[in-house]
Structure 1
């Protein structure tokens, strides 16, 4: 990357909250999180040059579009600030980050507010599943299946079983780690959930089938939530550091990024990759592009990873596509414990989408925020000791929109 993009900080909402039950709106969620992020970073609204919002389907869940217009109601000093919304299903937040980075690196603006948001618990679960199905090819795939995404990712399990073999116990190993990590996270939706030994088995009562391979504990959560980060040019970051009497090298920086878009249909993706080692080569390319732009050779130079576990199989896939193991060997990293919190390459120390929560449009921004916290030693009980380089992977649809970032310190 040519011009560096700094992360000044941010915040997220408590993912356990049901904002509708508390008689609060989508705007309340947006405003509350943006204002808390300003307070957390010590920034004023007048300091911010541009706003970007990641959101998937607010129109379907709440009837509301035009989310960039919310900024002017958060604070009068935001009135007139350019703002836009970005959509790429579950990767919407990462697309908002990429857009903000373009603004900064082009020299158009120096300081960007990136907000990711989704309200999903205001409708019945069946309606939520239908709304989220908009990221598949409507009318052409997952026909006749009640829950589109468990069905689609069960199909990915079938493909893994065909190519390499797949043991359900390994999927549950991923979920168990992520719930354990989420229990330590004060913003986790599942931090107070209780499980039994049978909860992480193929027990139909303790862990009922949703569709095919996918059971309840395989699934990321339906969540209300928002996350905000502030991104800055080097000049603005230097100003920020000087005003607070800190060294700019103490700040976090986005060192690399990758972004690919695969064909929409899962069937087409799997057919195109049929004779390749990686089941989703577009995912692999996004990640290796991020490595290359960051100037690192691969996962051996990464301290921890925040990845997209909308389902356990998605993380299983990501373990291989990050290069933690060879294709078809993700199970080794689960069995030997290297992806656990005390392992050599912890995955989802935050708890991920399974253990922390998955407000769709906010997830990519939340990953960036958690990576910032890790490399600046602000992750609390979820801190990976000595973490200085983080990698993320955020996916939209069935591997359609693929976004990856490498985050480190400025030193």
Structure 2
């Protein structure tokens, strides 16, 4: 079997890449080890940057997003007994964020790929990368072989793509944080119209939402915490203690339908390419979720890769492919810094002494009182503009010409 681009992973990065390539007349096959039901229901990120929304809409997969997504034009920073709104509409006019769960993005992309006749294979085992350092790479899976021009590794932090790169090629930059996030999904109407980032001496808390009826919460907990130690009553008590710190605010509670503990880490692998293997999304980088950048970075990566591949197929020039890693890493490191900055700004650290805590309070006071500091937060939070816009799709071609996984 042969295709132009072999894609490992049917998360947002792999599916969006496949769809964007399809719009440019480039064929692909997507291989995913999990079931379709699993990838369509796993709860992950929920904050989409302005550029991510624009990309999905332009790609024709934004109809439900525009109808059901919750547009937010600000966030609240809560500390010291007061709430402070960071107003995107004033600080970065015309740009906002949209709350729309990653699982919903995946559902929309799966539906679009299948409706277009795309080849997306779920529950595929034993995927392996071969000859990525040559001009004849191929994948094997379940006793089959897929020859392709290039391979896109979109299979996450623990996937096979990055692990298949020979030792010594990649340099890893990483930092583990001494705490984790306990994430909670609850069947209760949100208690606020916008996200609340709350810093208290008890630790960080985040009030978010997924719909007008479903709320999402996060609590800072010690690294390695066992979710079994957090019965519902304890969760609600701790959320109230960390969020009900301003006059007039009462946290609504309800049925908790899902909970889990997420470790906090920063990670970047450089370069994001080995020969004909290109890494995208969590396969190449991880950010702590405080800055809401994980999914958005994946979208940015595949935009760059789409344009580079389209240029290569159209002209034979590998200039953009050769620049893929450097182009992506400029945005990745900006997001790394912003995510680290938000994390250190809002979380409590056991290593902090009284001096460190006073510095943190001073920094929060500055961010919430200075237009310049608030603008820095706002423009990074809603997402920096892309270096270039994606051109429109290529003229329609016959399905065989697009080589969508033909044998």
TM-score of the aligned structures, taking structure 2 as reference length: 0.30
Higher helix proportion, which one?
A: 1
TM-score of the aligned structures, taking structure 1 as reference length: 0.29
Computing the radius of gyration over CA atoms, which structure comes out larger, 1 or 2? 2
